[in-house]
């Protein structure tokens, strides 16, 4: 169910399966810049766009990845992306013991490039990016408690 003010995935040139993934640089939970292009190469990347750090459904979604991390990390690199500032991401990561990097997109630029931007929050959508930089899957029907399985099926 869509909530006004939250993003919805809009397929467009540049964010569809087979397209080159839009490159970006965002600050992580520690304020360190992370550039997508620098992460490409050895295994797929999963960009998990989610509405808000530490909210109940987002926590359930991210904890599903955490709880199956030993398997997920063998198959892919995971980056969570939200509009939250790095300090909120750090709290989310620490409190829920999330083993992957969280990225801050406060100006909604990256969410916009991937077609998931909303006024208040990004859509709950995950993109799988192949080692060559092409989008290989878009997961739009996220089931929070099963997102680890959805990601593993897509990679």
Which DSSP symbol is given to 29?
T
Q: What are phi and psi for residue 69, nearest 5 degrees?
A: -60, -40
Q: Supply the Cα-derived Rg of the chain in whole angstroms.
A: 14
Q: Which of 58, 65, 116, 151 is catalytic?
A: 58
**Number of helical (H) and strand (E) elements in the chain, helices listed first:** 6, 7
Query: Strand, helix or coil at 20?
Result: strand
* Among the listed residues 119, 118, 111, 120, the one whose alpha carbon sits nearest the alpha carbon of residue 47: 111
- Based on the residue annotation, tell me whether 58 is a catalytic residue of this protein: yes
- Residues 44, 12: contact at Cβ < 8 Å? no
Q: What are the start-end ranges of the E strands in 1-155?
A: 25-28, 33-35, 45-49, 77-82, 101-104, 125-129, 135-139
- The residues carrying an active-site annotation are 58
């Amino acid at each position: 169910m869509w909530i006004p003010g939250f993003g919805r995935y809009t397929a467009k040139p540049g964010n569809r399966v087979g397209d080159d993934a839009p490159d970006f640089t965002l600050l992580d939970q520690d304020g360190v810049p992370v550039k997508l292009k620098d992460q490409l190469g050895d295994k797929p990347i999963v960009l998990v766009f989610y509405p808000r750090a530490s909210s109940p459904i987002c926590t359930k979604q991210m904890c599903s990845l955490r709880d199956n991390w030993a398997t997920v990390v063998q198959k892919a690199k995971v980056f969570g992306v939200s509009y939250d500032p790095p300090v909120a991401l750090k709290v989310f990561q620490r409190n829920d013991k999330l083993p992957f990097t969280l990225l801050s997109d406060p100006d909604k630029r990256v969410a916009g490039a991937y077609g998931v931007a909303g006024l208040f929050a990004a859509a709950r959508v995950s993109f799988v990016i192949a080692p060559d930089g092409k989008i290989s899957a878009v997961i739009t029907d996220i089931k929070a408690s099963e997102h680890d399985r959805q990601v593993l099926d897509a990679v």
